[in-house]
Amino acid sequence: MFRTAMLFAVLTGIFLAVGYLLAGTGGMTFALILAFVMNFFSYWFSDKIVLSMYKAKEVSKEQNPKLHEIVEKIADNAKIPKPKIYFVDTDMLNAFATGRSPKKAAVAVTKGIMNALDEDELEGVLSHEISHVKNRDTLTSTMAATIGGSLAFLAQMAWYSLILGGRGNRQGGGNLIMLPLLILAPLAASLVQMAISRQREFKADEKGSIISKKPMSLASALLKIENSVSKVKLKGNPATASMFIVNPFRGDSFVHMFMTHPPTAKRVEKLKEMAHKMKV
C-alpha cells in the first residue's frame, strides 16, 4: 500500500509540474484539479477505460459456456467471486485482468488465444490472471496505466506547444523550459514499472500454477504467446503493457527499455522447477 500511495503521489506531482510549465500558477491549479479528477476516475472507472480502449466485449455464458466453466472452476479454487469475462478481437495471443477488487474484477482474452491454446493452456493463463485479481494487483496496474497514459498525452501537448512556438509571452528561452515535458511519456512508463514489478509476474505464475495444478501448461502457453507478440501488432497504449500476461508492445524498441515483465524464458524455467516439485 505504501509503494502504491507513493506512486500516485509522484504522478500527481508530475501533473502539477506539467501544469506549471505549460501555464504558470494557473496551469498548476488546473493540473491539481485534473490530477484529483484523474485519481478519482482511475479508482472507480479505470477498468472500464482499459476495456473500452481495447474494444473488449463481455462474453455471456450462452455465447461460450466452456470458457465460463473454466473461469468459474478457477475462481472457486482461488476462493474469489467469478470475474466477468471479456473478448478482445485481435489475432495476437494475450490476456489481461482488471478491476479494483475481486468483487469488481474482469478477465479479458483475445481471439488469438482462444483459437491457439488448448484447454489446459487456457486454464493456465486464466489461473495466472485470476491470481492477479486475488492478490489485488489489478487495481494498481490499471490505475497506473490510466494515469501514465494521461501523462503521455500531456507530454504530447507540450510537444505541440513547442512546434507552435509556445505561449505568446514565453518565446525563445521559454520554449527551452518546455523541453523537459517531452520526456514525461517515458518517465510515466518508468513509473508504471515501479508499480508493477517483475516479481509480481513470477508470483502470479507461481500462484496460478498452484490454483490450476498445471505449471507446464502455463509454460507452454507463455511460449506460444511470446511467439505471437513478436509477430502481431496490437493497437493500444504502451502504458497498459504491464496488465497483459506478456508485453504486447515487445516490438517497440523504445518500450523495450522499460520492460514490464521478466523474460519469458526465465518464467518458463521457474515453471519447470515448480512442475518438478509438484511432480506433474
Q: What is the pLDDT of residue 176?
A: 59
Q: What is the pLDDT of residue 49?
A: 86
pLDDT tens figures, 202-221? 999 999 999 999 999 999 99
pLDDT tens figures, 10-33? 766 776 777 777 677 877 787 778
Q: What are phi and psi of 73, to 5 degrees?
A: -65, -45
Q: What is the pLDDT of residue 257?
A: 47
Cell digits of residue 175? 520554449
147, exposed or middle or buried, with CB in 10 Å at 0-12, 13-18, 19+?
A: buried
173, exposed or middle or buried, with CB in 10 Å at 0-12, 13-18, 19+?
A: exposed
Radius of gyration of the chain (CA): 20
How far is Cα 69 from Cα 85, in angstroms, rounded to an integer?
11
pLDDT tens figures, 126-150? 999 999 999 888 777 766 666 666 6
> How would you classify residue 55: left for phi > 0, otherwise alpha for psi between -120 and 50, otherwise beta?
left
Residues with catalytic annotation? 129
Where are the domains positioned within the chain? 2-278
Arithmetic mean of pLDDT, 233-249: 85
Residue among 9, 88, 50 at smallest CA distance from 240: 50
Mean of per-residue pLDDT scores for the chain: 81
Alpha helices in the chain (DSSP H): 2-53, 65-78, 111-116, 119-134, 137-163, 173-178, 184-195, 198-212, 215-229, 253-256, 264-278
Q: What is the pLDDT of residue 212?
A: 94
- pTM, two decimal places: 0.77
Would you list the DSSP string of 48-103?
HHHHHHTT-EE--TTT-HHHHHHHHHHHHHHTSPPPEEEEE--SS--EEEE-SSGG
Give 278's pLDDT tier (boundaries 50, 70, 90): confident
Give 253's pLDDT tier (boundaries 50, 70, 90): very low
In 10 A of CB 272, how many CB atoms?
A: 13
pLDDT tens figures, 70-125? 999 999 999 999 999 999 999 999 999 998 889 999 999 999 999 999 999 999 99
pLDDT tens figures, 159-180? 676 666 554 444 445 555 566 6
Cell digits of residue 42? 482511475
